[in-house]
Amino acid sequence: MIKLYFGPGACSFVPHVGVEAIKAATGEEIETQMVKLHKDEQHSPEYLALNPLGQVPLLVVDGQPLNQIVAICDYLDRRFPQAGLLPADSWRRAQAMSLFAWMNNTVHPTFTHIFRSTKFAATEAGQADVRDTAVASFRECLERIQTLVRQAGPFLLGERLSFLDAYALTFLRWGGLGGIDPASLPDYKAYVARVAEQPPVAAAIARERITLETYTAK
Ligand SMILES: N[C@@H](CCC(=O)N[C@@H](CS)C(=O)NCC(=O)O)C(=O)O
């Protein structure tokens, strides 16, 4: 039995899209369980027993927990290659993992500095500085993704939807929350609209009850 724990709008959206794609491609029953991050459910004793890091996503396979997006997605792809969520060819897979690793180890933590600046500076002025610096870095990351989107098509890895598209969609949503107007990244915005229309992505968006419009002009 497989179960994915996710937080609405969080990075767990990446394996969540994968789970929906796998269900559609194979008919496999995979359970999804919402963790309300704003209610701190990720720090409940029951959840911490499964994931001592107190984070989503978490995949539980026959009672065994697995954390970390890249590991979860690699496992899902190897177990259900029919869903085609990562390339099968060794070189193309390595290139995909290279981009996936950058998203996970650079873009994602940059946003953490915007969203959780209190973790990175003690004073309000310091936190504002961390936030402003991180917004500028995050914008550079989004611009790199927009360049990659322009070179690729219709999806980041070409013809097939992959985990990377779900991550890219999540980053543009987060950018909106951080004050980055998606209209200033028009090709990225159009690509995300295209990604959101794909049935597994639309299913995950509906299950998480999230919208793409997160930006509000100041
Ligand atoms: N390195 C982890 C990062 C996971 C992560 O940052 N999860 C965030 C949501 S995007 C979380 O659960 N935050 C809850 C908290 O920090 O309390 C991974 O790749 O899975």
Please indicate whether residue 44, judged by its CB atom, sits closer than 6 Å to ligand 1: no
- 218 has pLDDT over 80: no
Residue 54, ligand 1, Cβ within 6 A: yes
pLDDT digits (tens, 9 = 90+) for 152-196: 889 999 999 999 999 999 999 999 999 999 999 999 999 999 999
Spell out the residues 6+ positions from residue 106 whose beta carbon is closer than 8 angstroms to its own: 141
The CB of 110 under 6 Å from ligand 1? The reply is: no
Distant-in-sequence, close-in-space partners of 87: CB < 8 Å, separation ≥ 6: 93, 95, 96, 157, 162
Instruction: At 75, give phi and psi (nearest 5°).
Output: -65, -50
Mean pLDDT of the chain: 97
Dump pLDDT digits (tens) for 27-44: 999 999 999 999 999 999
Amino acid at 205: I
Condensed to tens digits (0 to 9), the pLDDT of residues 95-108 reads 999 999 999 999 99
Q: Please give the Cα distance from 69 to 192 (Å, whole number).
A: 20
Going by pLDDT thresholds of 50, 70 and 90, the confidence category of residue 205 is: very high
Model pLDDT, residue 116? 94
Task: Give the model's pLDDT for residue 153.
Answer: 82
Q: What is the pLDDT of residue 111?
A: 97
Q: How far is the CA of 68 from the centre of ligand 1 (A)?
A: 8
Nearest atom in ligand 1 to the alpha carbon of residue 10 is 10
Quote the CA–CA distance of 111 and 183 in Å, as a whole number.
19
Beta strand spans in 21-75 (E): 30-34, 58-61, 64-67
Query: Using CA atoms, how far apart are residues 198 and 208, in angstroms rounded to an integer?
Result: 15
- Count Cβ atoms below 10 Å from residue 147 Cβ, excluding itself: 12
- Atom 12, ligand 1: residue with shortest CA distance: 55
Q: What is the pLDDT of residues 110-140, one digit of tens each?
A: 999 999 999 999 999 999 999 999 999 999 9
Q: What is the pLDDT of residue 3?
A: 98
Rounded CA-CA distance 194/138 in Å is 22
The pTM assigned to this predicted structure is 0.97
Confidence check: pLDDT of 48 > 90: yes
**How many degrees, rounded to 5, is the angle at CA 192 between CA 21 and CA 42?**
60
